[in-house]
Amino acid sequence: MFPHWMATVAKKRLWLYTMIYLSIGLIFIAKYPGRYGLNPLLVGTAYVIFVVVGTLILIRGSVVRLGLTARQLLLMVIVAGVGLLVFMYQFDPNVIRNARFGLLNQSIAALLKGSFPYGEPMSGHHSGFPFWFALALPFYTVGDTGLMQILGYVLGAFILTRIDRPTSAAGIMALVASPAFLYEIAVRSGITTNMILLLVYLYTADQLLAHNKSGPVFILGLIGGLLLSTRGVVFLVLTIYFGFITRRSLHAGLILLAGWLFSFCLTVLPFALWDWPGFLAVGPFTHQLQLTNLNAWLIALSVALAFIIGRKLNAGEAVFEAAGLFLYLGVCVSFGRSIVTDGFAASVLASHFDISYFCFPLPFIIVAWMLALKREIATEDRQILR
């Protein structure tokens, strides 16, 4: 019925995630290479060939089976990290016209001077929740908040090796080679880093909770609440995980939720008390809701769907896949609304839509791609043994 290359569920999933990964990268290729004298069509074609041929080679499993020693993998991570650092300093975020780097510095500087970090116009202020400023503060102190994105890459490489060692080198390469991630590095934006931190948290939490270690549940909840106090989109991913964990243990899920809410409120409350009218009018809740380009009922429906999806999952790995697909579809809906309203050219080339939102699902899609690759290689091995 199907040719061999489409025969397995794992292979279908692998190509699904490959296409999603490519679609994210191609949006950035459509917008930015032309500004540097490169033909987007040629760059995009070369990128598609690179990803598709690379995936076909990996499916055979020979590259993965050869593997890398711990020392070789570490060397790969270091070399790529140094390369990203050099790459980052080739660009001025102000020239690329991404405001996050400057607005983050502005918010931290305001806080250090004792000023309220949110204000009007909202577009002239960072939309992050308070703990994002706290995370960036050490890097601001040493002179460049962009260095946080390099640390994000290192953490991403680490967690990919923990999730699946054999395919982690391919996953790290997929991250480094993503035009979306390279854009994030160039403009010192923090969306991918934010999601990598969430990925690390979900992996760690699931490893501890899967082994019935009930003691740290509330502590895990407190840490999760701090991550919730970075960007609102974290709430959707945590809702998926909450649905999943309550299926395993309602008691653990409720303790986890209590920890999330407690530490989140602890970080947000001082800013709400500082300037309540300003916090309501131009604070992170209002600002991030405005940036979603979605109606309130769509957001409420998204939260409900996230919980229902989580309840249907049977394994922690499935949470990563579900989160990636859910975030990708959510950004696509917002992107589609922008295209209908303003047109594709205005949404992408004229920046009526912030395409960096496609970085939200990127780390999760890469993990889902790795897991599908792992399963497909196992299928290939079984067929060879027959």
In a structure prediction context, what are the per-residue pLDDT tens digits for the chain, which is 386 residues long? 334 444 578 788 999 999 999 999 999 999 999 888 899 999 999 999 999 999 998 887 666 665 788 899 999 999 999 999 999 999 888 777 778 899 999 999 999 999 999 999 888 899 999 999 999 999 999 989 999 999 999 999 999 999 999 999 999 999 999 999 999 999 999 999 999 999 999 999 988 887 655 568 899 999 999 999 999 999 999 999 999 999 988 988 999 999 999 999 999 999 999 999 999 999 999 888 888 777 778 888 999 999 999 999 998 899 999 999 999 999 999 899 889 999 988 888 887 888 999 999 999 999 999 999 988 887 766 665 55
For residue 2, the model assigns a pLDDT of 39
For residue 312, the model assigns a pLDDT of 94
Beta strands in 15-96 (DSSP E): none
For residue 382, the model assigns a pLDDT of 62
With beta carbons less than 8 A apart as the criterion, state whether 205 and 271 touch.
no
- Distances from the Cα of 379 to the Cα of 10, 109, 153, angstroms: 8, 54, 31
For residue 99, the model assigns a pLDDT of 84
Dihedral angle over CA of 368, 373, 376, 378, nearest 10: -110
* Domain definitions of the chain by residue range: 4-385
| Distance (Å, whole) CA 126 – CA 136 | 12
Place of tokens 């061999």: 4
For residue 36, the model assigns a pLDDT of 86
Place of tokens 């499935």: 318
For residue 131, the model assigns a pLDDT of 97
Angle between helical axes of 40-60 and 165-176 (0-180°, round to 10) = 180
With beta carbons less than 8 A apart as the criterion, state whether 328 and 365 touch.
yes
Backbone angles phi, psi at 343, to 5 degrees: 95, 160
For residue 199, the model assigns a pLDDT of 97
Chain-centroid distance, C-alpha 355: 13
For residue 1, the model assigns a pLDDT of 36
| Distance (Å, whole) CA 371 – CA 14 | 8
